[in-house]
Amino acid sequence: MSYLLHLLTYLGIYVIMAMSLNIIIGYCGLLTLAHAGYFAVGSYAYALATLKLGWGFLPATGLGVGVAVLLSLAVSLPAWRFKGDSFVLLSLSVQALFFSLFYNWFDASEEPGTWTNLTNGPFGLANIPRPAILGIELDTPGSMAALSLASAVACGILSWRLLSSPWGRLLKAMRDDELAARGLGKNTRLARVQAFAIACGMVAVAGAIYASYVSYIDPNTASLDASILMLSMVIVGGAGNFRGPLVGALILLAIPEALRFAQIPQAAASSLRLMAYGLLLILMMHFRPQGLAGDYRIE
Amino acid sequence: MAPNMIALTGRSANSTKPGAGYPWQLRAAGIRKAFGGQTVLDGISLELQRGEVVLLRGANGSGKTTLLNVLTGNLVPDAGEIHLLTNGSSEYFRFPAKWWRTLNPFDHFSPERVCREGLGRSWQDIRLFPTLTLQDNIAVATPAQAMENPIWALLRPSRSTKREKQNLTAARKVLAELGLAGREMSSGDKVSLGQSKRVAIARAVQAGARVLFLDEPLAGLDANGVSEIMGLLRKLAQDEKMTLVIVEHVMNIRRIVDLATTVWTLKDGKLEVKNVGKKATVHRASNGHDLQSWAAELTGMRADVKNQRLPGGAILSTIAPSQDRQGEIVLKVEDLVVHRGRRLVIGIHGEDGQHRGLSFALRRGDLAILQAPNGWGKTTLLEALAGLIRPTYGRIELSGREIQGQTPWECAQAGLSLLQARDHVFPSLTVREAFRLTHVTSIPEGLTHLLNKRMSSLSGGEKQSVATACATNSGAFSVALLDEPLSALDMASLRSFGSSLRNHLKDAAVLIAVPGSLGELG
């Protein structure tokens, strides 16, 4: 039972990751590798706010969202000019920057969470408290799963509301032909900044839930592998609509679990999982570039 | 209701008079623009008055599109000033801009800024949003939609829904007036060329355009498409008193004649403005030409014109040399059936459930003109003949040798040359490199000055001329297949192409595909 609840907690986190990345890939038409960086920003902000400031879940998550929204300018402003391959490279450099920051903001002589040792470098931050909302401690697997799924539903409603509004239509028009959209008087730069801010803020929520659930975070949260995992969800499930990311999150959650039941040694399972991701991506790009349930074909 | 609905819903244009009291809506002075040291616009000054219909013409590379891009905010001029009174308020841009105007990234001279002042444009390549429905293509253009702000969309969902319903209703009304009722949910890439051009113009009007710049609105259209677009332009110009600036290539100029009140001629970076009242004067001023007269020049020296009616309303007119000079058959097509995916494009379904294919033959020296309506499959046919698409079945013989099923390079080596209608240039190559790559043996005189230019920097007409030279001047070929080679060509290029064609017809057959609008030749 607790295994199932564990999976449901992860499902909620994955769904938020995929939905948020879908705003950038499926609605802005930009492939970003920096998304794990914003996930980690949410995790670290939550961890530091709870550990050092003693904040509760909601304000600590709010802090993570705020910082991620602010830092989203690091990718959204260059996206005014950079498109296609050059934007992918730019997002990769932002991702490397985040990773490097989390890894190197470290001073062994100081306590974690101080200005000189903010992230505790490679050792990460441990003993992150479980969330408490309105005085209720969410310290059981069931309550964590409920929190994660409720957050996913809330993000889903937010995403649905936004993407089915004229703002979502504007994003799609901008993705299809930015110059034509500008020629109709649309401020595509502002729309892109808004889209990145919402997507990065949303994934920071997932980061906060993750940190509170696992109780430990380290720079690997912001690794390129994590970004590729998120990208795989959107590519496999499909971009440009609401259901694609849900399908992708479910499949990418199911693959490692299926390998677990296949009685493969732990060391081999990790390599096999990577191979499965790679194979899946190649097959999807070749046979179904719009993903299993997507509307938008990534060129 | 959105303010821009005025133009298409038939509300009197007099009810809103932006710029009323002023003699002009747009005034530009001293506009200069140079690319890489080459001056394209050299101190151009112009005025646009309400209800004026301008025909903008000029030779290939004269800067028509550059001027259009400058006036619509897509290019920032190097010097000059632009004064807009289109939207009722005065907006003044001076170039180069003062430094404080460059500080605000949302206040630059840009397409979105100019559009908000009431200047709209349509594009030569249409640029509908392909993944949006036609309804959304129109609705997205409505200006000042508060719900395009995500915060409003979240905080005021009921108001958002109400406004959106009104917007969609207005968009459906626009589509109904365009004769597209029932097609609201078709996506932007699933409608015919004529329909998509009409939607693109309506979209610009919906965005609030009071001055509309149209880049080759008739290009590539068959007779029905031309008449639909002309109907819409006439309505905008005469009923709604909109100001139109139309760039059209030489073959279609005569169709714009009825509407035009002014002719702008670009030459050597300067603009000559001629106000004309009478049709005949405009016609003379515009130096109109059409395919009929162009073909007549070629047919005049030839004796035998055969018109073959093809299924689906197409006509294949073969202009052959006199009997005593007729050559052997170089291209023989028998029972050709071609599908694109599951759709039958070339060939017809017979009553017995079998497909009937297309058959025709060309002899050395023949000039064949295939006129077919949009969507008939001209491009598919030419690509199937050239090996780019595998025919479902049928037989293609080139100089007695079967070539169906062969690769495009094998077809080219066998003596078949293809000029594609689109994507026919290598943008990063220089013209010289493109000629070398395609083994051009003799460079046409009119193109020698372009040799060191990159293909991407050429104008539409120059690209077309270079691509045509690559297809027809590259050594020996026995059959040339030319898909819409006349589009974007000016008079000089047209004559040069005609004379080059006469030379080629001594040794080869040429098949030209054009949108069907001409009827039988002869």
B129–A167 CB contact, under 8 Å: no
Q: What is the Cα–Cα distance from B141 to B144, expressed in whole angstroms?
A: 9
Q: What is the Cα–Cα distance from B330 to A272, expressed in whole angstroms?
A: 59
B493 and A CB contact within 8 Å: no
Q: Is residue A145 part of a domain?
A: yes
Q: What is the Cα–Cα distance from A67 to B221, expressed in whole angstroms?
A: 53
Q: Is residue A236 part of a domain?
A: no
Q: Which tokens hold the place of B106?
A: 């949302």
Q: Which tokens hold the place of B21?
A: 């009291």
Q: What is the Cα–Cα distance from B155 to A170, expressed in whole angstroms?
A: 18
Q: Pairing mode, if any, of strands B243-247 and B211-215?
A: parallel
A181–B140 CB contact, under 8 Å: yes
A164 and B CB contact within 8 Å: no
User: What pLDDT, on a 0 to 100 scale, did the predictor assign at position B2?
Assistant: 39
> Which whole number is the average pLDDT over A285-293?
87
Which residues of A are less than 8 Å from B132 in CB distance?
169, 172-173, 176
Residues contacting residue B340 through CB under 8 Å, at least 6 positions apart: B380, B389
* Secondary structure letter of residue B75 according to DSSP: S
- Chain A to chain B Cβ contacts (< 8 Å): 103
B414 and A CB contact within 8 Å: no
Q: Are B72 and B111 in contact (CB under 8 A)?
A: yes
Helix orientation angle between A35-52 and A2-28, rounded to the nearest 10 degrees: 130
User: What 3-state DSSP class applies to B54?
Assistant: strand
Q: Is residue A272 part of a domain?
A: no
- Give the ipTM of the model, two decimals please: 0.89
Q: What is the Cα–Cα distance from B135 to B122, expressed in whole angstroms?
A: 18
Q: Is residue A120 part of a domain?
A: yes
A172 and B CB contact within 8 Å: yes
Q: Which of B105, B127, B164 sits opposite A177 (nearest CB)?
A: B127
User: What pLDDT, on a 0 to 100 scale, did the predictor assign at position B18?
Assistant: 44
Which residues of A are less than 8 Å from B188 in CB distance?
176
User: What 3-state DSSP class applies to B121?
Assistant: strand
B208 and A CB contact within 8 Å: yes
The lowest-confidence range among A113-117, A171-175, A282-286, B396-400 is: A282-286
Q: Are A35 and A28 in contact (CB under 8 A)?
A: no
A181 and B CB contact within 8 Å: yes
Torsion over CA: B96, B68, B134, A291 (sign): negative
Distance (Å) from the C-alpha of residue B246 to the closest C-alpha of chain A? 17
Q: Which residues of B38-47 are buried (b: 16+ CB within 10 A; e: fewer)?
A: eebbeebebe
Q: Which tokens hold the place of A264?
A: 């493969």
Q: Are A34 and A94 in contact (CB under 8 A)?
A: yes
Number of domains in chain A: 1
- The full length of chain B comes to 522
* Secondary structure letter of residue B238 according to DSSP: I
A166–B153 CB contact, under 8 Å: yes
Domain ranges, residue A215:
2-222
A111 and B CB contact within 8 Å: no
Q: Is residue A168 part of a domain?
A: yes
B68 and A CB contact within 8 Å: no
User: What 3-state DSSP class applies to B102?
Assistant: helix
User: What pLDDT, on a 0 to 100 scale, did the predictor assign at position B10?
Assistant: 31
Q: Which tokens hold the place of B274?
A: 């001629």
Q: What is the Cα–Cα distance from B377 to B336, expressed in whole angstroms?
A: 13
User: What pLDDT, on a 0 to 100 scale, did the predictor assign at position B189?
Assistant: 87
Q: Are B305 and B299 in contact (CB under 8 A)?
A: yes
> Tokens 């929520």 correspond to what residue?
A205
A189–B160 CB contact, under 8 Å: no
Q: What is the Cα–Cα distance from B106 to A128, expressed in whole angstroms?
A: 43
A185–B153 CB contact, under 8 Å: no
Q: Are B490 and B60 in contact (CB under 8 A)?
A: yes
Q: What number of other Cβ atoms are within 10 A of residue A278's Cβ?
A: 12
Better pLDDT: B407 or A275: B407
**Among chain A residues, CA nearest to B205:** A184
Q: Are B13 and B240 in contact (CB under 8 A)?
A: yes
Q: Which of A162, A172, A184 sits opposite B115 (nearest CB)?
A: A184
Q: Are B172 and B184 in contact (CB under 8 A)?
A: yes
User: What pLDDT, on a 0 to 100 scale, did the predictor assign at position B129?
Assistant: 95
User: What pLDDT, on a 0 to 100 scale, did the predictor assign at position B13?
Assistant: 33
Which residues of B are less than 8 Å from A186 in CB distance?
112, 140, 148
A161–B157 CB contact, under 8 Å: yes
Q: Is residue A283 part of a domain?
A: no
β-bridge mates for residue B91, sequence order:
B84
Q: Which of B437, B517, B512 is nearest to B473 (CA)?
A: B437
Which residues of B are less than 8 Å from A162 in CB distance?
150, 153-154
Domains and CATH numbers, chain B: 3-19+50-72+118-286 (3.40.50.300), 291-515 (3.40.50.300)
Which residues of B are less than 8 Å from A198 in CB distance?
150
Q: Which of B123, B127, B150 sits opposite A167 (nearest CB)?
A: B150
Q: Are B314 and B371 in contact (CB under 8 A)?
A: yes
A240 and B CB contact within 8 Å: yes
B399 and A CB contact within 8 Å: no
B120 and A CB contact within 8 Å: yes
B145 and A CB contact within 8 Å: yes
Q: What number of other Cβ atoms are within 10 A of residue B60's Cβ?
A: 24
Rounded to two decimals, the pTM is 0.85
Side chain identity, residue B320: A
Q: Which backbone phi and psi does B277 adopt, to 5 degrees?
A: -100, -40
A185–B148 CB contact, under 8 Å: no
Q: Which of B121, B153, B157 sits opposite A183 (nearest CB)?
A: B121
A182–B111 CB contact, under 8 Å: yes
Q: Which of B74, B129, B143 sits opposite A173 (nearest CB)?
A: B129
The lowest-confidence range among A180-189, A193-202, B89-98, B427-436 is: B89-98
Over residues A116-136, the pLDDT tens digits come to 999 999 999 999 999 988 888
A116 and B CB contact within 8 Å: no
Q: Which of B74, B140, B204 sits opposite A173 (nearest CB)?
A: B140
A185–B203 CB contact, under 8 Å: no
Q: What is the Cα–Cα distance from A28 to B144, expressed in whole angstroms?
A: 21
| Residue-level pLDDT, tens digit, chain B, 522 residues | 333 333 333 333 333 444 445 568 899 999 999 988 889 999 999 999 988 999 998 888 889 999 999 999 999 999 999 999 887 788 888 988 877 777 777 678 899 999 999 999 999 889 999 999 999 999 999 998 878 889 988 888 777 788 889 999 999 999 999 888 888 999 888 888 888 999 999 999 999 999 999 998 988 888 888 888 999 999 999 888 899 999 988 777 878 877 899 999 999 999 999 887 644 444 444 444 556 666 666 655 555 778 888 888 888 988 877 666 667 899 999 999 999 888 888 988 877 778 889 999 999 888 899 988 888 889 899 999 999 999 998 999 999 999 988 999 999 999 999 998 877 788 899 999 999 998 887 888 888 889 999 998 888 888 888 998 888 887 778 999 999 888 777 888 888 888 888 888 888 899 999 887 555 555
Residues contacting residue A199 through CB under 8 Å, at least 6 positions apart: A20, A21, A23, A24, A35, A38, A72
Q: Which of B26, B27, B34, B37 is nearest to B96 (CA)?
A: B34
Which residues of B are less than 8 Å from A80 in CB distance?
105
Q: What is the Cα–Cα distance from A155 to A161, expressed in whole angstroms?
A: 10
User: What pLDDT, on a 0 to 100 scale, did the predictor assign at position B405?
Assistant: 87
Which residues of B are less than 8 Å from A173 in CB distance?
129, 132, 136, 140
Secondary structure, 3-state, chain A: CHHHHHHHHHHHHHHHHHHHHHHHHHHHCCCCCCHHHHHHHHHHHHHHHHHHCCCCHHHHHHHHHHHHHHHCHHHHCHHHCCCHHHHHHHHHHHHHHHHHHHHHCCCCCCCCCCCCCCCCHHHCECCCCCCEECCEECCCHHHHHHHHHHHHHHHHHHHHHHHCCHHHHHHHHHHHCHHHHHHCCCCHHHHHHHHHHHHHHHHHHHHHHHHHHHCCECHHHHCHHHHHHHHHHHHHHCECCCHHHHHHHHHHHHHHHHHHHCCCCHHHHHHHHHHHHHHHHHHHHHHCCCCCCCCECCC
User: What pLDDT, on a 0 to 100 scale, did the predictor assign at position B122?
Assistant: 93
Longest dimension (CA), chain A: 59
A296 and B CB contact within 8 Å: yes
Residues contacting residue B84 through CB under 8 Å, at least 6 positions apart: B25, B26, B90, B91, B92, B93, B114, B117, B118, B119
B132–A173 CB contact, under 8 Å: yes
Burial of B381 (0-12, 13-18, 19+ CB in 10 A): buried
**Among chain B residues, CA nearest to A188:** B112
For every residue of A169-204, DSSP letters joined together read: HHHHHHHH-HHHHHHTT--HHHHHHHHHHHHHHHHH
Q: Which of B232, B238, B285, B251 is nearest to B53 (CA)?
A: B238
Which residues of A are less than 8 Å from B130 in CB distance?
176
User: What pLDDT, on a 0 to 100 scale, did the predictor assign at position A136?
Assistant: 87
Q: Which of A180, A189, A194 sits opposite B123 (nearest CB)?
A: A180
B360 and A CB contact within 8 Å: no
User: What pLDDT, on a 0 to 100 scale, did the predictor assign at position B17?
Assistant: 44
Q: What is the Cα–Cα distance from B78 to A298, expressed in whole angstroms?
A: 37
Q: Which of B380, B370, B365, B223 is nearest to B308 (CA)?
A: B370
> Tokens 């060329």 correspond to what residue?
B193
Which residues of A are less than 8 Å from B128 in CB distance?
180
> Tokens 């509309």 correspond to what residue?
B212
Q: Is residue A264 part of a domain?
A: no
A173 and B CB contact within 8 Å: yes
